[in-house]
Every structure is written in C-alpha cells, then in structure tokens.
Amino acid sequence: MTFLSAFRFRKRVKPPVATPIGRKAAPTAVFKMATRRARGPGDTMRTRVVLTMCAFILVYGAIGGRLVQLGIAEEAKPGAGPRGQVAASRPDILDRNGEILATDIKTASLYAEPRRVIDADEASEKLATVFPELGDDKTRARLASDAGFQWLKRELTPEQKEKIFNLGIPGIYFDSENRRFYPARNEVAYITGHVNIDNAGIAGIEKYIDDQWLGDLHSLGFASNRNLEPIRLAVDARVQHVVHSEIASALTRYHAKSAVGIILNAKTGEVLSLASVPDYDPNNPAEALDPDRMNRASAGVYEMGSTFKLFTTAMALDAGAIRITDVIDASRPIRVGGFTIHDFHGKYRPLTVPEVFIYSSNIGTAKEALKVGVEGQKAFLKKIGMFDKVPTELPEVAAPILPRRWAELTSITVSFGHGISVSPLATAVAPAR
C-alpha cells in the first residue's frame, strides 16, 4: 500500500449517487472526478521540484554551451591569427670558418583578440603604461573592433613582456616569433644585409637566399618551424674585422665622406672581405634608411682614377703594343683636342714601362692607350668585366656608367680612370679575370 492510497482512505467519501437504469454517467463528470482523485499535495510538490530542476539545468546548460562556444568557435583560418603571421624561420649564415654571422632568436610579440577585450579604453590605458604609443585613439578603436586578431607590438624585450603580463588584461596575448640577430653587427652589415619585421630578407645575402629559394618555402609554409641547412659564405670574419676597423679609422683620419675595403682571392674569385663605411647595425634596420648608408663597394660607381693605369698597362702588354723593356717618352705634356695632359708628379724624362706604372704617369699611360687604339681598349675593358655588372650574389650591384662617345680623347682619359665610372668591387674583380 502506498502513502497516497492510505491518505485517500482517510478522506470522508460521499456515497455514490445512483444513476438511473439505462443511463450512463457523463464522460465529463467522470474525467473531472478522476483528475481530482489523482492530484494531491504530494503531486504538486513533486511538480514544482521537477520544474525547478529543469530551470537550473537549462540555465547552467546555456552557460556551459556558451563557454564551449567561446573556446572553439570561429577557429582561426590560416594567416588570420598569430600563427599565420609570425616571422618564419631562416637558416644561419656562417663565415668560411663556421662563425655565425646571422641567426634566429626567439622573441615575444604582443597581439589582441578584440572580441575578447572587455573594456577597450581600460585596456589601452594599461598598455600605455608600458608602451605610450598604444594609448592613442587608433589603438582604442582597434581594441573595440569586432576583429579576431590585431598585432599591437612586435619583438618585445623580456622586461616589456613581464610588465604587460602583470597587467592581466583580458584579450591581450603573447606569441613567440623568430627575430634575426647579427652578432658581428656593423662589420658585416653590407654582406649579410638584413630582414624586415616578418623576418623576410630585404638586403644583402638575406635577400639573395629569399629570392633564390627561401621565399618560396615561406610562402608555402614549409619553413616555419624547421632547422634549415646553414648558408656558408666565403667571407672570413677575422679578416673582415681588420678591414672594417682600418677603413673606419681612415674615414676619421682623413675626414673622408666614405671608405671602402675589399680583399679578394684572385685565384678563386672568393671575396674574403668587403666593407664600406658609413655603415649601419643590421640589428636595427631603421638605420639603413639613412641615405648616407649604402654599400659603396658594389652599389656605388665612381671614376676610379689611377687604379685604371693597371688595366691600361696590362692591356698594352696583352695586345703586344709594348714590351716590358720598352721606354716611353714622358718628358713633355700631350695635347689632344684642345686639352693638355700633364703628370701630377712628373719626372719629365723618358720612362720604362715599369716606371710609367710606378710613377703613375698620365703621359706614359695615355701613350700606351694610343698604341692599342680605341676599339682595342673597349674590347679589353669589356673582357675584364668593366662594361657589365659584377656577377655576385649581392643584390646591391650597380651597372657601370660608360662614355656616350668613345673618341681618342676619351680613350686617353679612360686610360687613367676618368670618363668611365665603375664600382670598387668591379675594380677589384677585374685583375683576377
């Protein structure tokens, strides 16, 4: 016997009403009677408990569902979040002895997910305590937007990261990126070049390897987290250090605007050292934007002056126009086309071929060029590469500036390095050809 049945038996029951023979009770009356008998105080209590439980289940279910939605909804598309935009990995650049000239280091970058930022104004104010520039209206607008991802600051120092972390701002996060580091700093700036904020090469060997193959790997996503084979250069870091130090000292000593130094292996064509000053620190690429910072060794062209006398003497000997034992009269100036060619420190006497070179005689060199002739001179200079860009891996290579009209007077001035402009690297490479 159930409790409900015992309770029902304690109730006072009215005697049933007689129904005339041949008549049935109305269905409505029967239904009402059954309903009244089924309900009681216990049923009402149970119904209320069930309804309350259902309400709690619905509320907490909605909260739980929302939390799950926030955790997995709108999964970032490739390239839309920090993982799609972080700086990709690059191979180390080494000198000929294995010394590191460029390498990747890990650094933190700051980004926001604006849809998770609770108060954009407060977030901007807190960020401004570490980075004042993030307290402007533009940053507040970005934090208040409906975007899923916004870079705020790239390449933070450990101290900056800790300060931001301690602020505890909702919707503000860190991501690990690769940053390029150049241990030798200015010494190899014009050789290694540098990269931009996304670790893409934009100058020097860094740009060369991107143009050759690394850029394609990055665009396909194959070089983000891989250990790439190092790039070994012919440069010797020890020699580079000495050359850079010497030309930097000469720049100061002689109050020069610029200076260049190149050491080349004449047998193999390998560049052991190439330095140009003024230079810049590739760890701070913004310095490279200064118009005075350029690789004058390969990207600048100049009238190289008396260094060309080496080529003129070699040209005359190669053509058989003179012999090493010949004597050239340098006692009087030469007059050509209304111009007079003098010697700067003339001996004003006949000179042997070696003496013409030793004393840097303009008169003797001009007579050597006249013996070869205009066409012979042009053919020889073309053969040693003076008419073309130097074939090298450096992207910053300038083309020579050649005379528009190559007459006899032009041949004379070119013989001692005027009237034609070439790069210092081309001048260094030519004797090795």
Catalytic (active-site) positions = 306
CB 326 within 8 A of CB 352: yes
- CA dist 63 and 67 (Å) reads 6
- CA dist 131 and 427 (Å) reads 49
Q: State whether residue 231 is helix, strand or coil.
A: strand
Query: Please, what sign has the CA dihedral across residues 129, 134, 138, 143?
Result: negative
- CA dist 361 and 312 (Å) reads 12
- CA dist 51 and 48 (Å) reads 5
- CA dist 61 and 28 (Å) reads 42
* C-alpha atoms less than 13 angstroms from C-alpha of 290 in its C-beta half-sphere: 14
CB 86 within 8 A of CB 177: yes
Token pair 């000239």 in the structure block, residue: 101
Question: Nearest Cα to 398, choosing from 286, 253, 296?
Answer: 296
Residue 221's CB is within 10 A of a number of other CB atoms, namely 12
**For residue 410, what are the contacts with CB-CB under 8 A and spacing of at least 6?**
374, 403, 419
- CA dist 207 and 369 (Å) reads 41
β pairing state of 150-156 and 100-112 = antiparallel
Q: What is the largest CA-CA distance in the chain?
A: 164
Query: Please, what sign has the CA dihedral across residues 308, 312, 318, 319?
Result: positive
